[in-house]
Amino acid sequence: MSVVPWIPSPKIVVEYLKHALGINREDVVVDLGCGDGRILLEFAKSGATTICIEIDRTLCNITEVTFNIHGLRDRVKIVCRDFFEVSLSNIEPRPTIVYAYLYSSILEALSKKFEEELSFCTIIVTLDFPIRNWSPIYVKHLIDENNHSRVVWIYVNGISNPKARLVEGRIVDVNKCVEICMEKCRRKLFMY
């Protein structure tokens, strides 16, 4: 069942994420409800492997055509299904980043899947709507092309979730956890 209408993310968000997260060919990016695939297309241009999970058949077809036009069809896997019915544990190679522009109530329902099915240190990015009960490691305010204020919420699985504050079996300082995760995925902290 479609639980959120299609509203595309603004360009400024993808531009910010491309640079802030240093998206590259080692990334595997999943967009939960990918719409017309515009976010993933930009990540694919930076070399990432991308996975679009989208319930709307027309939007899946548009995504396919768009990637074809750009000669990047081999950089996207299109799963035309309800994201609640797709196991994130079966995605290979493992996702490094999950993007979700969805309502908080839906994100809350998905957060259990994130905890159970994503690897430790996977980055989860949401737009405008936070994941309730999770603590973001960074929040970025942006102004889009229509002069609207937008908020990018960045979480790390295993650190941002309330029940997980563990690194390799030891409870450690949250800042230390973030550092370890960022190091593991060879990322700078994106504080700009």
Ligand X SMILES: C[S@@+](CC[C@H](N)C(=O)[O-])C[C@H]1O[C@@H](n2cnc3c(N)ncnc32)[C@H](O)[C@@H]1O
Give start and end residues of each alpha helix (H) in 26-103.
38-45, 57-69
**In the complex, least distance from residue 99 CB atom to ligand X, rounded to whole angstroms:** 7
Q: How far apart are CA 49 and CA 67, in angstroms?
A: 12
**In the complex, least distance from residue 104 CB atom to ligand X, rounded to whole angstroms:** 13
Q: How far apart are CA 88 and CA 66, in angstroms?
A: 24
Which is nearer to ligand X, 67 or 83 (by Cβ)? 83
Alpha-carbon distances, residue 21 vs 24, 81, 99 (angstroms):
9, 27, 12
Which is nearer to ligand X, 91 or 167 (by Cβ)? 91
Q: How far apart are CA 55 and CA 158, in angstroms?
A: 28
Which is nearer to ligand X, 84 or 190 (by Cβ)? 84
- 53, two tokens: 């999970």
- Note the residues at the interface with ligand X (CB under 6 A): 1-4, 6-9, 31, 33-35, 38-39, 53-56, 59, 82-84, 101
**In the complex, least distance from residue 50 CB atom to ligand X, rounded to whole angstroms:** 11
**In the complex, least distance from residue 135 CB atom to ligand X, rounded to whole angstroms:** 23
Which is nearer to ligand X, 54 or 134 (by Cβ)? 54
Which is nearer to ligand X, 33 or 95 (by Cβ)? 33
**In the complex, least distance from residue 171 CB atom to ligand X, rounded to whole angstroms:** 35
Which is nearer to ligand X, 56 or 115 (by Cβ)? 56
Buried/exposed 50-85: b ≥16 CB within 10 Å, e otherwise: bbbbbbbeebbebbbebbeeeebeebbebbbeebee
Strand segments, DSSP code E, in the chain are 28-32, 49-53, 76-79, 97-100, 123-127, 138-143, 149-156, 166-167, 170-171
**In the complex, least distance from residue 48 CB atom to ligand X, rounded to whole angstroms:** 15
